[in-house]
Amino acid sequence: MLQTKPDIHEIIENRSIIIHFQPQVSLKRKAVVGLEALSRGFDPQSGEIIPPTLLFEQARDTASRLALDRACRTKAVEAFATLHRREKSLMLSMNIDAACINGETRGSNHILNQVNRFGVSPGNVIIEIIESRCDDTRALLEFVRFYRSHDFLIALDDVGAGFSNLDRIPLLKPDVIKLDRSLVHGVDRHFHKLEVVRSFVQMSNRLGCLVLAEGVETAEEAMCLLSNGVDVFQGFYFARPAPGLDAVPGMADKVDSLAERHRENRTQQIAEDKRRYSSYDLTVLTMCQDLAESPAKAMNADLARFVDIYPSVECLYVLDMKGNQISDTVCNPARLKTGKRFLYEPASAGADHSLKEYFLPIQAGLEKFTTRPYISLASGNLCTTISHVFYHKGSGRHRILCVDMNREDEAARPG
C-alpha cells in the first residue's frame, strides 16, 4: 500500500506511467485478436505501483485529467508499437476519458498524431468511450466522426452498466459494444442477465457491430456467452493484464479445452431439447384428443385434471380461432408467485390473446407452435407456451389449447 498520495503533476511531467495489456480472445478464431491498454502509475520517489483507480482519482481538475489522459494514451501507443511491428493484425483498444471531449479539445488530433508518430496503423486502433461521462454530445459526435474518417474503430465501453445511455448507440453507431462486467458476471446462472445479453447481441447483429464481453472469470460464463452469439472475450479467465509480450500468453490449450466443452455441451443440450420437445408434443396431443371428445361445459374440469396428471404443466387455457379465451386459466397453484399478484395474474375467460407470440403463428396457418422460454405473465415463472389446434366435436369448431410448461429448472442454461 502506498504510504503517501502520489503527486499527479510529477507523474505526468515525468511520464511515470506503465502500460499493461489484457488480451481480447476470439474463441471461434482460437486467437488473441486485440489488447486493451490499461494504465498504472508508479511513484517516482518510492517506485511503488499506483493502481489505476488511485491514479485517476488524483487528477481532480480538468487540466490534470486531460494531461493524464494524454500521457496514458501516448504511453499505450508507444508500448503497442513494438507488438504492432511483429503482428500487424493485432488490435489496440485504448480508453479515452470522455469527460475530456469538449469544444476546446475536439480538434487537437492528439490520438492521430501519436499513432502516426509511433508508426501504428489507425485501422488497428479501437478508441473506447464511456459515453455517459461526456456532457458535450456535439463534441463527442464530431470526435467520433473525425476518428472514424481516419479509419479508427469506435467502441462503447461499459454497456449494460447502471448509467450507460443506450440512446447513444444509434447516435454514435459504434463498431464494438463492450458488455460491462456487471452484466457478464454470473450470466450462466441468471436468466434476466442472459436475456439482456441476447438483446444486445441481436441488436448488434442488425447494426453490424461486434459484441465483446469483458470481465469473464469462468469457463461457464464464456460458454454461456458463446452459445448466445458473443465471440470475443476479455477477463481473468483468459489472462490477467501484463506488460509487453507477456500479455499474449500461450492459451491454446485453454481455448481448445473450452471449445471442446462447448461442443459437448451444445450436443448434449440439443439432445435434451429433442427429448423435451418430443415429450411436450406427446403431452399436448394427448390433451387435445381428450378435449376433442369432451363436452364444452366440462372443459375447465378437464384442464384441472390435466394439471394434476402432468407435473411440468404450469397453466392451461383454451382460445377460439380469433384469439379470444373461452375457458378459465387453470394453473398449478403450487407454482404461482403469490407475492406478486399485481404483476402476475392468470388471464380470465374473454381475454384477448390475438397479439401473443403463441397465437400469431396459428393465425398464419400453423397447426402448433412452441415459444422460446419467457417469463409468464400468468405465474411470474420461466415457461414455454405450446399452442395446438384441435377440432372440438361438441361445438363443431376448431379451438386452440395453450399449455404453459415450467422451465424454472433451466433458468439461465446457455443454449
The CATH number given to whatever domain includes residue 323 is: 3.30.450.20
End of a domain among 220, 243, 266? 243
Same domain, 288 and 215: no
Q: Do 37 and 160 belong to one domain?
A: yes
What does the pLDDT read at residue 412? 46
> Is residue 266 one of the residues assigned to a domain?
no
Both 216 and 317 in one domain: the answer is no
Domain for residue 292, yes or no?
A: yes
Instruction: Tell me which of 243, 263, 292 is where a domain ends.
Output: 243
Per-residue pLDDT tens digits of the chain, which is 415 residues long:
455 566 778 888 888 889 999 999 998 888 889 999 999 888 777 778 888 888 888 777 888 888 888 999 999 999 999 999 988 999 999 998 887 888 777 678 999 999 999 999 999 999 998 766 677 888 889 999 999 999 999 999 888 876 566 777 888 899 999 999 999 999 999 988 998 999 999 999 888 899 999 999 999 999 999 989 998 999 999 989 988 767 676 777 788 888 888 888 888 988 998 999 999 999 999 999 999 999 999 999 999 999 999 989 999 999 999 999 999 999 988 877 655 555 667 889 999 999 999 999 999 999 999 998 888 887 788 899 999 999 999 999 999 999 999 987 665 454 4
**Residue 252: inside a domain:** no
Residues 321, 212 share a domain: no
Q: How far apart are CA 4 and CA 20, in angstroms?
A: 23
What pTM did the predictor assign? 0.77
Whether residues 90 and 45 fall in one domain: yes
- pLDDT at residue number 131: 62
> Do 81 and 172 fall within a single domain?
yes
For residue 382, what are the domain limits?
276-410
Say how many domains are in the chain. Answer: 2
Residues 234 and 372 in one domain: no
| Residue that terminates a domain, selected from 226, 243, 260 | 243
Predicted local confidence at residue 159, as pLDDT? 87
Residue 374 domain-assigned (yes or no): yes
374 and 232, same domain (yes or no): no
pLDDT value of position 58: 79
Task: Indicate if 167 and 291 belong to the same structural domain.
Answer: no
**Which pLDDT value is given to residue 414?**
45
